[in-house]
Amino acid sequence: MSKPGERFRPIWIDHQSDVVKVIDQRALPHELVIMDLNSVDQVIFAIKEMVVRGAPLIGVTGAYGIFVALKNGKDNADETYIKGEAGKIRKARPTAVNLSWGVKRTLSAVLSEKDPSRQIDIARQVAGEIAEEEVKNSRNIGQYGVKLIREIAREKPGKPVNILTHCNAGSLACIEFGTATAPIYAALEMGIDVHVWVDETRPLNQGARLTAWELGKYGVPHTVITDNAGGHLMQHHMVDMVIVGTDRSTYTGDVANKIGTYLKALAAKDNNIPFYVALPSSTFDWTIRDGVADIPIEVRDPDEVRYIPGAAKSRDNLLMPETSPAANYAFDVTPARLVTGFITERGVCKASETDVRRLFPEKV
């Protein structure tokens, strides 16, 4: 991870110690801190407090959570215990559907193994498989998405393709390559001239802290902007396309993503700029039809808005009067009508039930 240009992962198992390790994303961009996940409480803490974040990564962390539970449960890891631990992990955050999906898949595999001594190996293996599948998904998303970038590049020879993204749907949110960033990294590899507008993404600044960090690490030209700036840039032809990730998308095309995504989708629509959502199939919710009405939106601690991100809660770091309350809705839902298309591991499709079903016929 230390060699410049080398690919890194935000979660891995240290094979010598058999310990799950994650990058503490709260400390980026100025420090690279590694945290061990030795207990289910630590797994839940890591997910809740956003040591790890991003839908695919939360899914993988949840899967490894089952492994950690089994490691700690040892001889007492009966079905009741492991189901209880799985339930706790699944509830750590409500919006990203991958968490529930990753936990469930690992749990099923473990419970179908009757020999308790083999369950821990199965958990380790399934969590690892999910991680590798997400890498493969990201790689495929990159290959399909880069075609869209290449088309734009052909229309403006000699000039960079300007892509706007919100939050971090990058390597740090996934395992490698990312979702929204995968087409960008693929474009870079193909020698296409790209430039990324990075929304800082208040309140936790995942854009300014994480996306800018990894784009810089991989040598992608980028500029950080406030969340307020995107509309102006679009009006003035300084954005060619928008690509974002998602924490949960309905099979009907509605997209839950970091709060503020909806505003960018509106601006893209108003300026005829394509607005794409990149996601692996693990992020689809195959049960909900109306995303705006039915996707649960996490409400987080208002102090994340009130204080400078990552700083001590002193008056010096308080961004508003001491007596002013704040609200902290973590996600919003962009209706399908504003989404130009989904970039998935199986190809690009319209954000509509018909098109999603056609790409994933086995899912519904």
Count other Cβ atoms within 10 Å, centred on residue 214. Answer: 22
Q: Which of 199, 227, 240, 247 is flagged as catalytic?
A: 247
Provide the binding-site residues for its own copies, judged by CB under 8 A. Answer: 29-30, 197-198, 200-203, 205, 208-209, 212-213, 215-216, 222-233, 235, 258-260, 262-264, 266-267, 270, 292, 297, 305-306, 308-309, 315, 318-321, 323-329, 331-333
Q: How far is the CB of 247 from its own copies (least distance, A)?
A: 13
β-partners of residue 348 are: 343
Q: How far is the CB of 204 from its own copies (least distance, A)?
A: 10
Q: Residue 313 has what DSSP assignment?
A: S
- Is 240 catalytic? The answer is no
Query: What is the crossing angle of helices 40-48 and 55-73, to 10°?
Result: 160
Query: What is the crossing angle of helices 116-155 and 55-73, to 10°?
Result: 170
- What tokens does 227 get? 């969340």
d(CA 138, CA 183): 9
Residue count of the chain: 364
Residue 246 · residue 334 · CB < 8 Å: no
Nearer to its own copies, 137 or 340 (CB): 340
β-partners of residue 12 are: 21
Q: How far is the CB of 297 from its own copies (least distance, A)?
A: 7
**Residue indicated by tokens 């400078």:** 308
Q: How far is the CB of 146 from its own copies (least distance, A)?
A: 23
β-partners of residue 162 are: 195
Nearer to its own copies, 125 or 223 (CB): 223
DSSP notation for 261-282 = HHHHHHHHHHTT--EEEE--GG
Strands 347-349 and 341-344: antiparallel
d(CA 227, CA 207): 9
Nearer to its own copies, 64 or 213 (CB): 213
Q: How far is the CB of 232 from its own copies (least distance, A)?
A: 4
Nearer to its own copies, 162 or 281 (CB): 162
Q: Angle at Cα 134 formed by Cα 6 and Cα 125, nearest 5°?
A: 100
Nearer to its own copies, 331 or 342 (CB): 331
Nearer to its own copies, 109 or 268 (CB): 268
d(CA 330, CA 59): 18
Sheet holding 19-23, edge to edge: 11-14, 19-23, 34-37
Instruction: Give residue 37's Cα distance to chain centre.
Output: 20
User: What is the Cβ-side half-sphere exposure of residue 237, based on CA atoms within 13 angstroms?
Assistant: 2
Q: How far is the CB of 179 from its own copies (least distance, A)?
A: 19
Nearer to its own copies, 135 or 265 (CB): 265
Q: How far is the CB of 299 from its own copies (least distance, A)?
A: 11
d(CA 183, CA 160): 15
Phi, psi at residue 41, to the nearest 5°? -60, -40
Task: Report, as residue numbers or ranges, the catalytic residues.
Answer: 247
